[in-house]
Amino acid sequence: MGLGSTAKKLQKVADIADDLYTKVNELKAQLQDLRGTVEATNARVDEIDGRLDEQRALLEAIADEQGVDTDAVLTDALIEDAEGSTAESDAAAETGEAEADANAKSSDD
């Protein structure tokens, strides 16, 4: 093995290392941007949570003033949501079964 092939191999390793260094720096910049985005998003979420708490308090005060039982309303909403989710799941299952039956019939032909 001559010095020429060793020099070529070393140059190839140096080129690969340079490419990796460039990629690492790009990833580092992307990570910094991502951190900034996450921090900004967290700040927005905290602000929205605060506003939601304020709105909830106002709505509960209005409901109390009007004589509305908020616990009963929330319970009913949860029940309706659960029943809706169950109905949607049942409908999806029935659709899937119907498609499976149709596929089985078409493959039999």
Where along the chain do its domains lie? 1-68, 69-109
> 109 by DSSP, 3-state: which?
coil
3-state DSSP of 1-62: CCHHHHHHHHHHHHHHHHHHHHHHHHHHHHHHHHHHHHHHHHHHHHHHHHHHHHHHHHHHHH
Predicted confidence (pLDDT) per residue in 59-69, tens digit:
999 999 999 99
For tokens 């493959």, the residue is 107
Predicted confidence (pLDDT) per residue in 72-108, tens digit:
999 999 999 998 877 666 667 676 666 666 666 665 5
pLDDT of residue 87: 67
Q: What share of the chain has pLDDT > 70, as a percent?
A: 77
Q: Cα separation of 64 and 102, whole Å?
A: 55
Q: What is the mean pLDDT of the chain?
A: 87
Q: Cα separation of 20 and 69, whole Å?
A: 63
More confident residue, 47 or 102: 47
Torsion of CA 29, 33, 39, 42, to 10 degrees: -140
For residue 14, the Cα-to-chain-centroid distance in whole angstroms is 40
Q: Taking the complete model, does pTM exceed 0.75, yes or no? A: no
Q: Cα separation of 50 and 56, whole Å?
A: 10
pLDDT band, residue 52 (cuts 50/70/90): very high
